[in-house]
Structure 1
Amino acid sequence: MPTYGAASRKLFWEESMKIVRAMSLLASVAIATTAQAENIDLAYAAYGPPTSSNVEFGVIPFLETAKEMSNGTINYTLHSGGSLLSAKAMLGGMTDGLVDGGQLLAVYFPSELPVSNLAMGLAPILRSGGPALAAAITEYVLLDCPECKAEFAEHNTVFLGAYSTTAYSLLCSKPVATLDDLAGKKVRVPGDFAYLASHLGMTPVNMSIGETYEGLQRGALDCSLGPVGWLEQFSLGEVAPYALDISYGVSYGGPIISLTQSLWDRLDDTQKTAFETGAAVGVFRAANAYIKTDQDVLASAGDKGYTVTEPSAPLVEKLGGFDAAFKEILLDRAKKGGIENADEIVSGFEKTLAKWETIVGEVGDDEDAFVDRMMNEIYSKM
């Protein structure tokens, strides 16, 4: 049996330690390689132009914030203005993975997203929008409505952030103030806002916002329902300079900020947090952009030749009778469509909205505080 002297034992020990250190280094490299985030270069589609409120102040800040927070692992290409996918093609593009994310409008997909559309269906009877409404529908879809979340998941979509306009006015080519003035007038309305138009004795016309200017110019329309900011944003003030401030109805939902499930599943925790933070920033800024645009238009209305009128007392009274009638229509239609818990969905969303109205009352215009609340109240619980 061989024996080893002190020198041999020392040499054996040194060589053994070299092997141990080499193995430790290899293990560290393997762990680091495994933990290294995948580089993401996503294609994001938006149907809105780059200067629209939801893209300029919602989608772009979402993407930029995620990029900045990702330690260099997230890049993006934005295809805006419907250059890659139109609004009506967006859900199919998400489902098929033609893009990695997109600005969606759920109202275009009532068959594919019936429960989500019910949660967003109170639009014609809401009186105010803003960050509270956008945050509320985001939370409701992600945390409180498993059917909503499942609908989006079925179409390879992760809902991350909603939008909210301000309350609508009637933007008309001629002065209007009374029910008699509105009788028979042709008004461009989206979706269920047709019920509101009919309730006021007007004739609803289904027309895209992109066609509205020409419709007003040629007399195919007398009015359009929308925020007063549209007088500038879509140049409607050139053909419809008379605004009747009914402050009734708000468009909300979207989502304007969403990613495909297939992309989401590839992200590490740092990247997910980057996208979630970006979504909260986009929700806040887009909603506030609508508010600021309205304020700017109202402040300069006289100088630009716009006339803003308050509705007559009988018209206001007529509006007051619309809420209960429309909610009955909404719930009855949902139940006939197979949504047995329709009452629960609507009341659940109203409860979430009340919660966020309180939160926004606390944080006010503080973007950082709003983002923190969205992260804590919503995204940390996904």
Structure 2
Amino acid sequence: MKTTLKSLLTGGCLAALLSAGGMASAKDLTFAVGFPSGSTVVQSLEKFVAKVADNGGPGIKLYPLSLLDLKQTGPGLRDHIVDMGYVIMPYHPAEYANSNLGADLNMLSTVGDRIDAPGFAMTGALTEYIMLECPECVAEFARERQIYLGSISTHDYALLCTTPIRQVSDLAGKKLRVASANWGRWAEAMGATRVSISANETYEALSQGVVDCTVVHPADLLDLQLMDVTKYVTLGVPGGLFVGVGAANINIDAWRGLSEEERVAMLKAAAYNSAELSYNYYVRPMEALEKAREEGIEIIEAGPELTEATEAFVAEDTAVIADLFTENYGVENAAEKVAKVSALVEKWKGLTKDVKDVDTLAKLYEDEIFSRIDPTSYGMN
């Protein structure tokens, strides 16, 4: 992969940059994001870029879906093809094993003490875990030549399908595209088959019958144009949300090349970025579902048998997660890390349960997490 991406840099990167809307200035940081212009992610990252500038930070040039796709972004940052990127960690399970352990516990956010916006809590929990409670997480990003600047969370995950799903038996034999391992285990526990493909390939997979459903947040009806190939949406299962994202990761050399004042600006803007993206992923599904109804897509609420089976699965799966990360990736003290993340999820449910706006959420992330990061030492050794 490293050779391939280096070849991209020397052979095709210049053309990609030009086609994306012109070369960035010599002082601008380049930011690759594998979503199209107008998507929830790109709209939010445009605000992040403005916040960095307002705070006295470096200029940043976004390249939506034109330079590196979602799966290429992590290696592209490692090889310094771009300065910054939106990194999907579960695409690289071994490279980000400790961070993925925390992200894999996302279904805890939608069981037990339920809150209106579980994504707000999960963003806070995983960001605090990686940046402040997990030195192994920071180290694994450094090995990939990256600095992590916070996560984001989507809203509750649902089933976007070409066939109706109402109860457990409806899932028997169905092929479900899943974005990470915990939903894969859920699919298999419900009698379905997991299929792991890139988000960028989901449209074609649904349209050609390669998969029957995709496990995703309903915002992708709009963001990835899945409205055209979805006939049914089942809400309430599997729950959980996607949080395995480095929302504004930066190449380690680019980070170290910034002044202390610029790093302060980046950290402050990163707190807002985590809030802005998580908030948009809270409201965007409502817009998408309303549009889906207008388009004649049937919206189904999962029946009690299916929701109860899902609750039981989540209760049993935390021990499975600890064992799998120990056996497959050599994560040390996995059970203790699971307990730490679980406690952080509960802490952040309490902190965010009454939050209703971006600015309040951003201040909360800044006060509780980003203000505790030392810009003179974080990522500098």
- TM-score normalised according to structure 2 size: 0.83
**Partner amino acid for 2:345?**
L
CA contact (8 A) 2:146 2:251 kept: yes
Residue in 2 aligned with 1:285? 276
What displacement does 1:306 show? 1.9
2:241 to 231, 237, 250: 250
CA RMSD of aligned residues (A): 2.1
Do residues 133 (structure 1) and 119 (structure 2) align?
A: no
What displacement does 1:194 show? 1.3
In structure 2, relative to structure 1, the CA distance for the partners of 1:338 and 1:285 (3 Å cut) is: same
Matched residues in 2 for 1:163 and 1:290: separation? 9
Do residues 64 (structure 1) and 40 (structure 2) align?
A: no
Percentage of identical aligned residues: 30
2:143 to 154, 160, 175: 154
Do residues 97 (structure 1) and 80 (structure 2) align?
A: yes
Q: For 1:48, what is the secondary structure of its paired residue?
A: coil
Residue in 1 aligned with 2:301? 310
CA contact (8 A) 2:150 2:247 kept: yes
Give the length in aligned residue pairs.
339
Matched residues in 2 for 1:49 and 1:235: separation? 10
Segment drifting more, 210-219 vs 282-291: 210-219
In structure 2, relative to structure 1, the CA distance for the partners of 1:235 and 1:79 (3 Å cut) is: closer
**Partner amino acid for 1:378?**
I
Matched residues in 2 for 1:233 and 1:181: separation? 27
Matched residues in 2 for 1:335 and 1:324: separation? 19
Do residues 143 (structure 1) and 153 (structure 2) align?
A: no
- Correspondences of 1:360-375 after superposition (within 5 Å): 360-362=352-354, 364-375=355-366
What displacement does 1:64 show? 1.5
In structure 2, relative to structure 1, the CA distance for the partners of 1:137 and 1:204 (3 Å cut) is: same
Matched residues in 2 for 1:125 and 1:354: separation? 9
What displacement does 1:146 show? 0.8
Query: Any gaps of 5 or more consecutive residues in structure 1?
Result: 1-38
Q: For 1:197, what is the secondary structure of its paired residue?
A: helix
- Correspondences of 1:41-52 after superposition (within 5 Å): 41-52=28-39
Do residues 74 (structure 1) and 58 (structure 2) align?
A: yes
1:25-72, Cα deviation, whole Å (9 max, x unpaired)? xxxxxxxxxxxxxx9421111122232222221x222221101221xx
**Partner amino acid for 1:261?**
I
What displacement does 1:161 show? 1.9
Matched residues in 1 for 2:253 and 2:323: separation? 36
- Correspondences of 1:263-278 after superposition (within 5 Å): 263-278=254-269
Q: For 1:267, what is the secondary structure of its paired residue?
A: coil
Residue in 1 aligned with 2:96? 113
Do residues 163 (structure 1) and 152 (structure 2) align?
A: yes
Query: Any gaps of 5 or more consecutive residues in structure 2?
Result: 1-25, 111-116, 374-381
Q: For 2:148, what is the secondary structure of its paired residue?
A: strand
What displacement does 1:260 show? 2.0
Do residues 223 (structure 1) and 209 (structure 2) align?
A: no
Q: For 2:59, what is the secondary structure of its paired residue?
A: strand
**Partner amino acid for 1:327?**
T
Q: For 1:321, what is the secondary structure of its paired residue?
A: helix
Do residues 214 (structure 1) and 204 (structure 2) align?
A: yes
Matched residues in 2 for 1:356 and 1:317: separation? 24
Q: For 1:380, what is the secondary structure of its paired residue?
A: helix
Q: For 1:79, what is the secondary structure of its paired residue?
A: strand
1:118-137, Cα deviation, whole Å (9 max, x unpaired)? 11111355426422211221
CA contact (8 A) 1:242 1:306 kept: yes
CA contact (8 A) 1:189 1:224 kept: yes
**Partner amino acid for 1:75?**
G
